């Protein structure tokens, strides 16, 4: 019985994902090139292309590990997490978790955090751009409008926690400079990651800022967030803190129109 195109495609896909499942009747061999060699060319090309694709998403991790060690990491990764996506964009979506949980990579926090940071940057770069609100918008608000004011933030904005000096490490690698020694902290530092036009941005944030951001993102009003801040600050300091955060977010181009 002649195999259908779909059956042929499925058989070859199974081979790419598991080289032990060698299809015996779909490839013709010659005196010079055996069936195993021909299939091996396709199998190796599949892995090489994924390594190349993830090298774009994890460019600094590749530099940090070196070409060979990075290729070994990616090949080990796709053995456990073969691609189920039509787009190469998402093939690396489980790499951070793979590094975090898989020996010997899980023994190196710097590898996990660098991968996590780069993947976060990828998300920030791909996010949609929405219309920004300016300081003039808020200056025109009536006093009674501030009570129920809601804030929406740029889709690119993400908050991550890092226990090492990963951003400094990434900067050095990205600039083709010698990376600094890895420094670990007992308490993780929150960082904001976002995009301004085509420029990737990141900076450290205070726990109080992260708390305010999280509650605005959950739909809390300006007055409700101010009331929340009063749990952490003397009441007389709350207005200045709220205004300071708003000014910082406007400067960072983080607040967008609903």
Q: What dihedral do alpha carbons 8, 10, 14, 17 form, nearest 10°?
A: 120
21 token code pair: 């499942």
Report CA dihedral (202, 206, 211, 214) to the nearest 10 degrees.
0
The CATH class that applies to domain 130-258 reads alpha beta
Band of residue 47 on the pLDDT scale cut at 50, 70, 90: confident
Domain boundaries of the chain, sorted by first residue: 1-107, 130-258
- Global pTM? 0.83
The tens digit of pLDDT for each residue in 51-108 reads 999 999 999 999 999 999 999 999 999 989 987 777 788 899 999 999 999 999 999 9
Q: What pLDDT is attached to residue 127?
A: 95
Q: Which two tokens stand for residue 20?
A: 């032990």
Helical H segments across the chain, by residue range: 5-17, 35-57, 59-65, 67-80, 95-101, 109-126, 135-139, 166-174, 207-217, 222-229, 238-251
What does the pLDDT read at residue 1?
Answer: 47
Which of the four pLDDT bands, split at 50, 70 and 90, describes residue 19? low
């Amino acid at each position: 019985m002649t195999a259908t195109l779909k059956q042929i495609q499925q058989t070859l896909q199974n081979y790419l994902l598991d080289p032990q499942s060698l299809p015996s009747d779909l490839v013709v061999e010659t005196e010079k090139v055996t069936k195993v060699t021909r299939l091996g060319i396709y199998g190796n090309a599949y892995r090489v292309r994924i390594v190349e694709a993830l090298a774009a998403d994890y460019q600094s991790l590749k530099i940090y590990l070196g070409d060979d060690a990075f290729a070994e990491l990616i090949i080990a990764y796709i053995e456990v997490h073969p691609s189920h996506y039509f787009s190469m964009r998402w093939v690396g979506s489980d790499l951070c978790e793979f590094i975090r949980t898989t020996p010997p990579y899980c023994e190196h926090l710097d590898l996990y955090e660098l991968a996590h940071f780069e993947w976060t940057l990828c998300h920030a770069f791909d996010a949609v751009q929405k219309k920004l609100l300016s300081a003039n918008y808020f200056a025109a608000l009536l006093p009674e409008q501030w009570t129920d004011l809601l804030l929406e933030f740029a889709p690119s904005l993400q908050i991550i926690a890092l226990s090492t000096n990963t951003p400094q490490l990434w900067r050095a690698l990205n600039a083709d400079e010698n990376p600094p020694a890895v420094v670990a902290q007992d308490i993780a530092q929150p960082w904001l990651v976002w995009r301004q036009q085509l420029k990737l941005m990141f900076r450290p944030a205070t726990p109080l800022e992260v708390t305010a951001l999280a509650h605005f993102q959950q739909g809390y009003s300006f007055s409700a967030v101010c009331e929340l801040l009063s749990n952490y600050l003397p009441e007389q300091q709350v207005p200045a803190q709220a205004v300071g955060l708003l000014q910082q977010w406007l400067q960072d181009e983080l607040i967008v129109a609903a």
